Structures are given as structure tokens and as C-alpha cells.
């Protein structure tokens, strides 16, 4: 079976270096907030064009800590996308605020900036875009809206570490960027881990305090915090892997472009090829020509009719695939109290019914990829024959 993602191969390719790093931490006796966490924070801050970074327990806590630090809570609304992993709105709910869903752009799968303004109320405190699948959101209109309405812009970068837009890294556009090192993310550790990036010194100081029980000085606590720190052993591992992130992300893009070519004639909707053109940014022609959009393809996700049958047929041909994400968040039981009905957010619902992610990891070989593409072409061609026979 060709898997969606293969984590053991990455470990084996760096085994000696990783084992040495893990052993070094084990022998050091320093396991919480030590030199590797400090160094990784600096390295991630630099990667993300930010002055500060704070290692935390996971990506969900990164979001929650930022919202807490911004004093977003009961009675407040946060505008976000319904087409994301549940952690995005979980964090909003955990601080007591209400997620307000705005539909997505059918080409990027990301929040549709042109639909946001209509969702802003007097209770809106923040916009929380998600750079889904490693595809940067169109940040120019988002920054403009946040500035115009005095809203905090918090970026969910869990799937997009290293992605860039207009020559800047994701995580540097809003007041904070929130990253996850969950094992299957583009930069993954051997457990849970996360990071907050920011250029705002007071936010930095606030989340740095909140991540360790809300105290500036040990055993002196000014407010209720969390116990949410990045482990030293995970930071040491991540520092080994970080040196390879750029090459891995480049390989992911190459795989995505080859999928686009191999599947050009398949009966599917390919992820939109945005890199070549960039977004239609309102900055004048010259700026537009220099516009750079560098996605990092955490997932390669296309849309296909009768998705579940296609996934089953792929499995029979030795190819794993998965619908990320089959149920949009406004229709999840956890958000039932918001009172949404099917049909409320049509583009997200359509994409949730049709999306299918294919194997995507840097170690995927050309042969494996050819097999995936051949299988999908065969499966979708057969299906056309079935349609023709039925008609
Ligand atoms: C993975 C993920 C998170 C949460 O990260 P964890 O480290 O698993 O808590 C948040 N948002 C998105 C979009 C994610 O993919």
C-alpha cells in the first residue's frame, strides 16, 4: 500500500543525527525549557520573518494561548473558516469565544476574503485564517480588513511552515502565527509540539508567561496559565529536521506539480495552480509581477465525484487516500449550538463532499507517484464508462 504519509522513512534517513541529538538531551538532564527550545525558537522566528517565537505543547495550545493573551473570551466573536481541522475552532471555543464561519474560495480552499466584511459585527475581535494544506491565504485583503476594523489577525500556520506570500513567511502577517509539530506536519516531532511566532513584544511576553502557569518569576503567579511547553527532547529533534525543511518543502512542490501533469486528463478538479500567477493583489502591475506565492503542499487535495467510491477503488489498487476534511466544522456536533444547517455554507460543504488527498511526503518516489496517478486515472476512467452505460 502506498501510504498518505510515511514518517519512519524520514527518521531512518537521519537516524544517526537524530539518535545523537536525543541521547545528548537524555544525558544533559535538562528536559524542560532548555537550550534546544531557546535555539529552536530563534531559528523558527528567523524562518518566519518574526522577532519572537515561543515553543508550546502543541498547535492547538498555540492558538488558545494567543487568543487568551489577546483577551478574547466570552461574548467575543472570531471569524474563521469552516474547512479546517477542528483544532482551529476548538481553540476559539476553549477561550469561551464564538467562531463565526465565512465560506471558502473554491480554488484555494482557504477563507474567501471578499466574504469576511459581511460577517463583522460589534463583537468581532479577530480574524483567524488557516493556510490550509500549506497554501498561503490571500493575506493582502485580510491585513487590510483587520487594520480597517481594528481586529486581531491570528494565522493558523499548522500546515504551512515555510510557506511564503509576497516574499514574506506565513506567521508574520498577523499579530501572531500558530504552528504545530504534530508528527505528520511538514516539520514534525515524535509527539506533540507547537510554536507561536510574533513581532509584538507584549504579546510575546504574555504567551511566554501563560505557557508556564502564568508567572514571570518562578513560583509567583499573576494569572491562570497553562502547562504547555515544548519539550527539550522534541526541540533537539526538530532542530535536526529543520535543516532539511526547505529541501523537503521543495520536494513536496515538485511532487504536486508532477501530480498536476500526470492527472491533467483525469476526471477530477485539480488543486488550483496558484503559484505561477500569484494572487490578484491590488498593488499595481509591477508589484504583481514580483508577487511570490510559495505553497508547501502539506496535502495534495483534489476534488472528485463519488469520492468515497473512488477512495475505495484506490485502496483496492494499493493506494491510500483520505478526505481531508469530510465534515465542515459548522456541521459538526461540537458546534451544534451555533444552529447551522446543511446548505448554510455551500462552497465548504461542496468541497467537503468531494475532496480527496493523495499520498504526499518528500520521500514518495517517482515510481510510487506514477502508480498513484495511474490508479486514479484508471478508477476515474472506469467510472466514466459506468456513467456512459447507465445513460
Ligand atoms: C494540526 C492542526 C492544528 C493543531 O495542531 P496540534 O499540534 O495537533 O494541536 C491546528 N490547525 C490546523 C489547521 C491543523 O492542521
- Tens of pLDDT along 128-172? 999 999 999 999 999 999 999 999 999 999 999 999 988 899 999
What are the start-end ranges of the E strands in 160-313? Answer: 164-165, 168-169, 176-180, 194-198, 293-294, 300-303
Strand partners, 80: 101, 128
Q: Where are the domains of the chain?
A: 7-102+109-242, 245-381
Q: What tens digit of pLDDT does each residue of 338-363 get?
A: 999 999 999 999 999 999 999 999 99
Looking at the predicted structure, is the pLDDT value of residue 127 above 50? yes
**83 close to ligand 1 (CB < 6 Angstrom):** no
State residue 383's pLDDT score: 64
* Residue 158 alpha carbon to ligand 1 centre in Å: 5
Ligand 1: atom nearest CA of 60 is: 9
Reported confidence tier of residue 293, pLDDT bands at 50, 70, 90: confident
Q: Would you tell me which CATH number, out of the four given (3.40.640.10, 3.30.420.40, 3.30.360.10, 3.90.226.10), belongs to the domain 7-102+109-242?
A: 3.40.640.10
Nearest in space to 236 (alpha carbons), one of 15, 19, 3: 19
Judge if the beta carbon of residue 85 lies within 6 A of ligand 1.
yes
> In this structure, is the dihedral angle defined by the CA atoms of residues 85, 93, 118 and 179, taken in order, positive or negative?
negative
What local confidence, expressed as pLDDT, does residue 87 receive? 97
Three-class SS state of 168: strand
353, 324 in Cβ contact below 8 A? no
If you classify domain 245-381 with CATH, what class do you get?
A: alpha beta
The cell for 180 is 504545530
Do 344 and 330 contact (CB within 8 A), yes or no? Answer: yes
Q: Phi and psi (nearest 5°) for 176?
A: -155, 155
Closest by CA position to 79, among listed 120, 135, 140? 120
Atom of ligand 1 nearest to the CA of 63: 10
pLDDT at position 281, please?
Answer: 42
Q: Say if ligand 1 is within 6 A of residue 177 CB.
A: no
State CA 349 to chain mean position distance.
19
Averaged pLDDT for residues 36-46 = 98
Q: What is the pLDDT of residues 231-287, one digit of tens each?
A: 999 999 999 999 999 999 999 999 999 999 999 999 999 987 554 445 544 444 454
Q: Which of 49, 262, 274, 46 is nearest to 174 (CA)?
A: 49
Amino acid at each position: 500500500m502506498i501510504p498518505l504519509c510515511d514518517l519512519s522513512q524520514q527518521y531512518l534517513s537521519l537516524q544517526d543525527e537524530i539518535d545523537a541529538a536525543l541521547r545528548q538531551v537524555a544525558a544533559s538532564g535538562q528536559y524542560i525549557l532548555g537550550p534546544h527550545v531557546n535555539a529552536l525558537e530563534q531559528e523558527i522566528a528567523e524562518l518566519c520573518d518574526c522577532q519572537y517565537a515561543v515553543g508550546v505543547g502543541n498547535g492547538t495550545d498555540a492558538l488558545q494561548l494567543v487568543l487568551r493573551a489577546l483577551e478574547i473570551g466570552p461574548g467575543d466573536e472570531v471569524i474563521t473558516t469552516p474547512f479546517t481541522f477542528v483544532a482551529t475552532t476548538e481553540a476559539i471555543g476553549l477561550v469561551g469565544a464564538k467562531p463565526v464561519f465565512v465560506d471558502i474560495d473554491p480554488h484555494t480552499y482557504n477563507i474567501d476574503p471578499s466574504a469576511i466584511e459581511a460577517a463583522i459585527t460589534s463583537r468581532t475581535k479577530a480574524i483567524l485564517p488557516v493556510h490550509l494544506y500549506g497554501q498561503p491565504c490571500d493575506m493582502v485583503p485580510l491585513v487590510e480588513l483587520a487594520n480597517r476594523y481594528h481586529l486581531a489577525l491570528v494565522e493558523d500556520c499548522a500546515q504551512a511552515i515555510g510557506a511564503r506570500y509576497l516574499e514574506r513567511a506565513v506567521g508574520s502577517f498577523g499579530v501572531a502565527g500558530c504552528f504545530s509539530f504534530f508528527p505528520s506536519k511538514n516539520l514534525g516531532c515524535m509527539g506533540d509540539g507547537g510554536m507561536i511566532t510574533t513581532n509584538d513584544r507584549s504579546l510575546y511576553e504574555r504567551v511566554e508567561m501563560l505557557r508556564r502557569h502564568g508567572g514571570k518569576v518562578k513560583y509567583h503567579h499573576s494569572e491562570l496559565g497553562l502547562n504547555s511547553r515544548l519539550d527539550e527532547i522534541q526541540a533537539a529533534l526538530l532542530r535536526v529536521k529543520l535543516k532539511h525543511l526547505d529541501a523537503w518543502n521543495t520536494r513536496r512542490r515538485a511532487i504536486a506539480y508532477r501530480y498536476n501533469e500526470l492527472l491533467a486528463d483525469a476526471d477530477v478538479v485539480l488543486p488550483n495552480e496558484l503559484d505561477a500567477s500569484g494572487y490578484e493583489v491590488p498593488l499595481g502591475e509591477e508589484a504583481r509581477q514580483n508577487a511570490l506565492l510559495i505553497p508547501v503542499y502539506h496535502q495534495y487535495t483534489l476534488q472528485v465525484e463519488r469520492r468515497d467510491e473512488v477512495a475505495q477503488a484506490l485502496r483496492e489498487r494499493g493506494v491510500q487516500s483520505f478526505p481531508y476534511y469530510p465534515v465542515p466544522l459548522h456541521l459538526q456536533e461540537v458546534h451544534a449550538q451555533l444552529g447551522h444547517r446543511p446548505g448554510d455554507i455551500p462552497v465548504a460543504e461542496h468541497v467537503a463532499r468531494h475532496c480527496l488527498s493523495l499520498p504526499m511526503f518528500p520521500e514518495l518516489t517517482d515510481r510510487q507517484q506514477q502508480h498513484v496517478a495511474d490508479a486514479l486515472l484508471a478508477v476515474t476512467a472506469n467510472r466514466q464508462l459506468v456513467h456512459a452505460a447507465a445513460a
